């Protein structure tokens, strides 16, 4: 398979999609996936709820998740589950140019979602309060995490459990307001990265860090830990109410620009197979 330099572009700000209808936001999602290899979508479950409940094809759209949706007793949890699954499917469908109902949303051990049959597409889901965030990538792993921007986190209580020595030293020099903001930024970045790796909280947050000025991945002593294969970014969304961090991997594989579901076959793999057959 052909390789290209692994230089994942810095993730762009999330695209806000206020409902499942067609329009420019979905075109932007598709364009970003084709041009940059990844895209992030944000929405609130309230924006999607009316359309979701009125959709006559809701049951086939949810697929295997229908029974879980029906069994969830708490109304808020049920509606958040419903809309988050719809947003994942609509985001993947926009990228793949297909009907969301034909996509089979499944889950790996630990609950990480994936689109069955489309191994080139990686998906990440995060929700907090009324915000739902979905990341999608065709160049490698992706992870997203979101938190309310005004969430109060204590440096004294948390830094020994989530910061590297270099990060703790950097944070200790900051005034309280900036210290809290930077600690929350680090928390979401680390959550996003471990989600992308499929590790969750099993990977200790003190084992890796992020540079204060560039969000580059660092070792516990603050030295660089990755060379271009990963890119990270943090953005404020929905009127600066929430902080969204994204971790994107670029494997360096020359994936196909065409992301349509009907034709999404890696041309690099096709060429390798043809060469192998010709050599026999």
Place of tokens 């993730």: 11
3-class secondary structure, 128? strand
Domain positions in the chain: 15-269
73-107 residue pLDDT tens: 999 999 999 999 999 999 999 999 999 999 999 99
229-254 residue pLDDT tens: 899 999 999 999 999 999 999 887 65
Tokens at 197, concatenated = 């790796």
Q: Which residues pair with 132 in a beta bridge?
A: 43, 127
Superfamily the domain 15-269 falls into: 4'-phosphopantetheinyl transferase domain (3.90.470.20)
Whether 265 has a pLDDT exceeding 50, the answer reads no
Q: How many residues does the chain have?
A: 280
C-beta separation of 131 from 125 below 8 A: no
184-212 residue pLDDT tens: 999 999 999 999 998 765 678 999 999 98
Q: What's the pLDDT at 275?
A: 43
108-131 residue pLDDT tens: 887 889 999 998 899 999 999 999
**What's the number of CA atoms in the CB half-sphere (13 Å) around residue 255?**
23
Supply the mean pLDDT for the chain.
86
DSSP H helices, the chain, are 24-36, 45-54, 58-62, 66-71, 75-96, 155-162, 165-172, 176-197, 267-279
The Cα angle at residue 79 between residues 73 and 85, in degrees rounded to 5 = 115
């Amino acid at each position: 398979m052909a390789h290209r330099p692994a230089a994942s572009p810095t993730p762009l700000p999330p695209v806000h999609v206020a409902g499942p209808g067609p329009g420019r936001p979905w075109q932007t999602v598709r364009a970003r996936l084709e041009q940059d290899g990844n895209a992030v979508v944000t929405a609130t479950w309230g924006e999607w709820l009316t359309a979701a409940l009125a959709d006559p094809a809701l049951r086939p759209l949810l697929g295997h998740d229908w029974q879980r949706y029906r069994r969830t007793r708490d109304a808020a949890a049920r509606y958040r589950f419903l809309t988050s699954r719809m947003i994942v499917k609509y985001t993947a469908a926009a990228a793949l140019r297909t009907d969301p109902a034909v996509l089979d949303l499944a889950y790996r051990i630990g609950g990480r979602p994936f689109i069955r049959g489309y191994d080139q597409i990686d998906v990440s889901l995060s929700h907090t309060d009324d915000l739902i965030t979905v990341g999608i990538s065709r160049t490698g792993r992706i992870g997203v995490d979101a938190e309310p921007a005004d969430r109060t986190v204590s440096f004294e209580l948390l830094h020994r459990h989530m910061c590297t020595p270099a990060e703790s030293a950097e944070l200790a020099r900051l005034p309280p307001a900036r210290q809290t903001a930077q600690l929350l930024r680090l928390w979401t970045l680390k959550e996003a990265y471990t989600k992308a790796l499929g590790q969750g909280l099993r990977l200790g947050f003190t084992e890796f860090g992020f540079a204060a000025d560039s969000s580059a991945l660092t070792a516990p002593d603050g030295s660089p830990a990755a060379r271009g294969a990963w890119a990270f970014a943090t953005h404020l969304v929905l009127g600066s109410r929430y902080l969204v961090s994204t971790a994107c991997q670029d494997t360096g594989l020359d994936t196909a620009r065409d992301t349509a579901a009907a034709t999404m076959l890696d041309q690099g793999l096709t060429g390798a197979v043809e060469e192998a057959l010709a050599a026999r």
